[in-house]
């Protein structure tokens, strides 16, 4: 009997050692990835060693994130875990809820008071330093708020609307808050959010464009100004990947193309190349089809249009802006887009050197409160 037990222990121990050895081997053989197509985000890289980071506790924390992000066959294990949890009746996984009608919605957690104040303070400081420039702010509610009636019963989410109002009331008077909440609430039965992705749809972006136009003092084009083209009907977005839920209908991606010909030159500074289109149609063959809009996120890009009115717009943004900007090209001569997550230049010098007339700050609620790069806006 003892011999049998010892044999079992030896077998189990051997399997464990083989497993650990294989994982170590795969970690050595498989190169680190910079970006996860499945999760639509940059992956943690090996942190730089320094005694300062160790004393601050940053090195260990970042190393744990690195191991988690670079774990071999990570996507496969996430899928297995999610499948097992779903068949057990679980409606939430990895911060993503499976709602009615196949909608996937990302959980919103309220910000800490100190962090909230810090974000408002840096934006107000920015407003003081750009007093002579028109400034607008759009904070886009996520589907988890607008479509909250589709959430599972008693889903533990905090109220985005409450914190949107806190932002609105806390902003400097020189920043015009463009409130899109009411129009989104009125249109919530329309297809304004993707089911499997965290972004708004092009239709949702169009409604925000209409509201922004009125705030900025120009007349928006109506929908019949555009040919609405369905360019993809098999889009599975970031929440499909993150949540791991399967057997869900895919999304459509539509482009609003002006019937009247418009000419563009899009300059991508990081890549040092240009394009004559706002859309990278090749990306429709990739996992993240949302990057059809302006080829995804970039530190800085510039759009020149054939609207020769001399007006220059700077957009400080997250990825929600990518599908909104094509509507604005019919109203501005030059549009600059800066993504503070990747932009490393001096923002104040950039604004002064380019004679910016208008500045739009556009974030969705979740990324605004979770992404610390917004704090780089102050100088």
* pLDDT of res. 330: 95
Q: How confident is the model over 54-84, as pLDDT tens digits?
A: 665 666 666 677 666 666 666 666 666 666 7
pLDDT band at 17 (very low <50, low <70, confident <90, very high): confident
pLDDT band at 23 (very low <50, low <70, confident <90, very high): low
Looking at the predicted structure, is the pLDDT value of residue 19 above 60? no
Q: How confident is the model over 300-313, as pLDDT tens digits?
A: 999 999 999 999 99
* pLDDT of res. 12: 75
Arithmetic mean of pLDDT, 122-136: 95
Quote the percentage of the chain above a pLDDT of 90: 70
CA distance 40 to 237: 8
pLDDT band at 262 (very low <50, low <70, confident <90, very high): confident
Encoded tokens for 137: 């702010």
328 or 53: whose pLDDT is higher? 328
Q: How confident is the model over 46-56, as pLDDT tens digits?
A: 677 666 666 65
Arithmetic mean of pLDDT, 150-158: 93
Encoded tokens for 321: 């802006």
Q: Please, are residues 152 and 376 in contact by the beta-carbon 8 Å criterion?
A: no
* pLDDT of res. 38: 56
Arithmetic mean of pLDDT, 189-202: 98
CA distance 336 to 315: 6
Q: How large is the greatest C-alpha to C-alpha distance in the chain, in angstroms?
A: 90
Domain extents in the chain = 2-96, 101-377
Q: Please, are residues 146 and 206 in contact by the beta-carbon 8 Å criterion?
A: no
Looking at the predicted structure, is the pLDDT value of residue 39 above 60? no
């Amino acid at each position: 009997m003892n011999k049998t037990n010892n044999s079992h222990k030896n077998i189990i121990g051997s399997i464990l050692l083989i497993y650990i050895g294989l994982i170590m081997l795969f970690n050595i053989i498989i190169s680190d990835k910079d970006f996860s197509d499945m999760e639509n985000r940059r992956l943690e890289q090996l942190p730089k060693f320094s005694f300062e980071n160790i004393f601050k506790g940053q090195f260990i924390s970042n190393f744990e994130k690195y191991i988690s992000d670079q774990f071999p066959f990570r996507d496969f294990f996430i899928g297995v875990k999610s499948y097992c949890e779903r068949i057990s009746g679980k409606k939430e996984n990895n911060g993503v809820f499976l709602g009615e009608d196949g909608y996937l919605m990302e959980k919103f957690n309220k910000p800490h008071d100190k962090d909230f104040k810090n974000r408002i303070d840096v934006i107000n400081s920015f407003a003081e330093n750009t007093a002579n420039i028109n400034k607008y702010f759009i904070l886009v509610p996520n589907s988890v708020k607008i479509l909250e009636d589709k959430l599972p019963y008693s889903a533990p989410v905090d109220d985005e609307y409450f914190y949107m109002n806190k932002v609105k009331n806390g902003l400097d008077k020189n920043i015009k808050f463009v409130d899109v909440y009411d129009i989104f609430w009125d249109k919530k039965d329309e297809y304004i959010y993707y089911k499997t992705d965290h972004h708004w749809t092009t239709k949702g972006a169009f409604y925000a464009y209409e509201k922004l136009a009125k705030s900025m003092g120009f007349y928006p084009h109506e929908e019949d100004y555009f040919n609405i083209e369905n360019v993809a009907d098999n889009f599975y977005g970031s929440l499909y990947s993150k949540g791991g839920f399967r057997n869900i209908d895919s999304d459509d991606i539509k482009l609003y193309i002006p019937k009247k010909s418009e000419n563009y030159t899009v300059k991508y500074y990081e890549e040092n190349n240009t394009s004559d289109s706002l859309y990278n149609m090749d990306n429709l063959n990739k996992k993240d089809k949302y990057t059809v809009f302006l080829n995804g996120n970039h530190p800085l890009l510039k759009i020149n249009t054939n609207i020769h009115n001399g007006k220059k717009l700077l957009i400080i943004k997250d990825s929600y802006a990518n599908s909104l900007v094509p509507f604005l090209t019919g109203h501005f001569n030059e549009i600059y887009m800066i993504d503070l997550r990747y932009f490393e230049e001096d923002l104040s010098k950039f604004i002064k050197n380019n004679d910016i007339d208008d500045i739009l700050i556009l974030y969705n609620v979740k990324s605004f409160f979770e992404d610390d790069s917004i704090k780089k806006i102050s100088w």
